[in-house]
Structure 1
Amino acid sequence: MTDAQPNKQQQIQIADNIPGGEYANMMQVNHTQEEFMMVFMNVAGISGKVVGKIQTSPGHLKRIVDALQDNLKKYEVQFGQIKIADAPQTNAGLGFEDRK
């Protein structure tokens, strides 16, 4: 008979340099073959502030997208379909551009 291993729960700590959550209403995404870079911004009127940056591997980004899609489906089942607002017409003056 083997001894059953108790479930070990992962212990995650928040780094001291990470404050509470930030609100972002705009995001810029770029990529190379090796990584995806996401810049999250809080923009109001003609001013904005970068509130977070994330770099991750393509494989991990795929898992993030899958998790977001799963949670979005669950949200809409519980609260109803989300209506997508019109995208801002311009981001002129912020120093960011759309790279298609």
Structure 2
Amino acid sequence: MTLATRERRRYAPCLMADTPKPPDMQLQIQMDEDVANGQYVNMALVNHSDTEFTLDFIYVQPQQPKARVRSRIITNPKHMKRLVAAMQDNIQRYEAKFGPIAIPEEDGGMH
């Protein structure tokens, strides 16, 4: 047994079968009224670097030359991948219940 192994064993936590497991912490999410009301958006821009993704949610008014970013979300790549998976799952469940979501070709494809 090497010194490193002995040191690791000495400091490794020892849990007995009858040792009570600490309770799982339950996250309480709070939301301000302004956030709870939500923001309607009809356009999203997605950009990324090697360390983060930036999502800009925009409302484009008809016949207006300008649009305003309503919300910007910046997150890490792992969380973004989990978010995309959750969104894909929800889209599948939505389409199973309400039918396919049609995206017209002339939509421009901006996202």
Structure 1 position 78 matched with structure 2 position 103: no
Question: 1:45-91, CA deviations, whole angstroms, 9 ceiling, x for partnerless residues?
Answer: 223111100000001000000000000000000000010133249x9
1:81 partner letter? P
1:24 partner letter? V
Q: Percentage identity across aligned positions?
A: 38
More deviation, 35-44/14-23: 14-23
Structure 1 position 87 matched with structure 2 position 82: no
Per residue, is there more strand in 1 or in 2?
Answer: 1
More deviation, 5-14/56-65: 5-14
Residue 54 of structure 1 aligns to a residue whose secondary structure is strand
Aligned length: 91
Q: Partners in 2 of 1:52 and 1:41 — Cα distance?
A: 7
Structure 1 position 53 matched with structure 2 position 53: no
Q: Partners in 2 of 1:19 and 1:81 — Cα distance?
A: 28
Q: Partners in 1 of 2:36 and 2:66 — Cα distance?
A: 22
Q: Partners in 2 of 1:39 and 1:15 — Cα distance?
A: 20
Tell me the equivalent position of 2:48.
Answer: 31
Give RMSD over aligned pairs: 2.8
Q: Partners in 2 of 1:51 and 1:29 — Cα distance?
A: 14
Per residue, is there more helix in 1 or in 2?
Answer: 2
- Displacement over 4 Å in runs of 4+: 1-8
The answer for unaligned runs of 5 or more in structure 2 is 1-17
Larger Rg: 2
Q: Partners in 2 of 1:19 and 1:67 — Cα distance?
A: 20
CA 1:71–1:19: 2 relative to 1, 3 Å:
closer
Scaled by the length of structure 2, the TM-score of the pair is: 0.67
